[in-house]
Amino acid sequence: MKVWALHLALILLLGVALAVLPPYPATTLARILVLAVFAMGYNLAFGYTGLLSLGHALFLTSGVFAAGLSAQFWGLTAGPALLLGILAGGGVAAAVGLLALRTAGVSFMIVTLMFAQAGYLAVLYFGTVTGGDEGFNLPAASRTLLGFDLSTDTPRFVAALALFAISLLLSLVLVRSSFGRSMVAMRENEERSRMLGINPFTVKLAALVLSGLYAGAAGAAYALLFGYAGANFATIQYSILPMLYVLLGGAGTTIGPFLGALLMFGLIEVTSRLARLWPVLEGMDYFLIGTALVVLVLFAPRGILGTLRERGLKWLP
């Protein structure tokens, strides 16, 4: 009860924020919501199941280009393009998982990283179709959902919030289900799970595919809402970012990924403003962010919500 109230209150609060904020910060918030969906997916694999992937940029990119290219070449509108993006994210995650899940730990990190880099090079190699480094802008005609123009503010905010809300509530239901318990069992003690009759490979593959569906949805939504598809989504940066969001907000908490994404954006904003005040800080944004993260890992290794949960808020899912 308390749990549902908290999640619904957060969604409501975000709705109000999108409605009252001026267009520029509201657009940034919409971006954060879409990236939070990506991070929620990452959290299902990493935070709950213990799968430390360095290849999620590939799943995001699959969503970006499945939506972007189908809009560009087949003239799909946002609804079907989003669906295609979700399926692409899940499908690519399944293919990668079938191979990469034969490994664990550091090898799993390396294999997923390798797949993601191969994906990045493929996007560049097929530059005539994907637009390579420059990418391409999605045709305006494709950016409509149920008759609303997603390139205008209100429909864009509503769509971002709806995607976020559905993703958040789904992940809440998922992690409180018996399948969610099996996912956590993988993270905590895989060998024991096996001796309880659970097939670790099946559980981990299912978790990775779910994670890929989230990443695909986020990628497709990003392309459709902000009108751009490009190779930058495939760079390693987009594999690292969701990990940072999740670590900052709290791995294995439902709201942690959003909180982490919000704070990282905030941190970047603050450091770039500081740099304008004191030119000596120019170009040191990432240094300051890095310092903040080191401090976090030292003093709150479970992230913000993970620490709160440890210090008494045990009911936090």
Partner 1 sequence: MAALIETRDLTLHFGGLRAVDGVDFTLNAGEVHALIGPNGAGKTTFVSLLSGRRLPQSGVILLDGEDITRLPAHQRVRKGIAYTFQITSIFPRLTVFDNVALAIQSRGTKGLVPQTRAALDRVGLAEFEEQEAQTLSYGHQRLLELAMGLALHPRLLILDEPTQGLAASEIEGFKALVQSLVPDTTVLLIEHNMEVVMDIATRITVLNFGQVLASGTPEAIRANPAVQEAYLGA
Residues in touch with partner 1 (CB under 8 A): 178, 181-182, 184-185, 188-189, 191-200
Q: Which residues are CB-contacts of 233 (< 8 A; sequence separation ≥ 6)?
A: 57, 60, 61, 64, 219, 222
The least distance separating partner 1 from the CB of residue 75, rounded to whole angstroms, comes to: 44
Exposed / middle / buried, residue 196 (Cβ in 10 Å: 0-12, 13-18, 19+): exposed
- Cα dihedral 293, 295, 297, 299, rounded to 10, equals -150
The least distance separating partner 1 from the CB of residue 47, rounded to whole angstroms, comes to: 13
Pair 308, 316: CB distance under 8 Å: yes
Q: Which is nearer to partner 1, 184 or 293 (CB)?
A: 184
The least distance separating partner 1 from the CB of residue 214, rounded to whole angstroms, comes to: 24
The least distance separating partner 1 from the CB of residue 250, rounded to whole angstroms, comes to: 14
The least distance separating partner 1 from the CB of residue 251, rounded to whole angstroms, comes to: 13
Q: Which is nearer to partner 1, 5 or 196 (CB)?
A: 196
The least distance separating partner 1 from the CB of residue 292, rounded to whole angstroms, comes to: 27
Q: Which is nearer to partner 1, 163 or 247 (CB)?
A: 247
Q: Which is nearer to partner 1, 70 or 182 (CB)?
A: 182
Q: Which is nearer to partner 1, 23 or 191 (CB)?
A: 191
3-state DSSP of the chain: CHHHHHHHHHHHHHHHHHHHCCHHHHHHHHHHHHHHHHHHHHHHHHHHCCCCCCCHHHHHHHHHHHHHHHHHHHCCCHHHHHHHHHHHHHHHHHHHHHHHCCCCHHHHHHHHHHHHHHHHHHHHHCHHHHCCCCCEECCHHHCEECCEECCCHHHHHHHHHHHHHHHHHHHHHHHCCHHHHHHHHHHHCHHHHHCCCCCHHHHHHHHHHHHHHHHHHHHHHHHHHHCEECHHHHCCHHHHHHHHHHHHHCCCCCCHHHHHHHHHHHHHHHHHHHHHHCHHHCCCHHHHHHHHHHHHHHHCCCHHHHHHHHCCCCCCC
Q: Which is nearer to partner 1, 192 or 311 (CB)?
A: 192
Q: Which is nearer to partner 1, 152 or 199 (CB)?
A: 199
The least distance separating partner 1 from the CB of residue 19, rounded to whole angstroms, comes to: 40
Q: Which is nearer to partner 1, 184 or 288 (CB)?
A: 184
The least distance separating partner 1 from the CB of residue 2, rounded to whole angstroms, comes to: 15
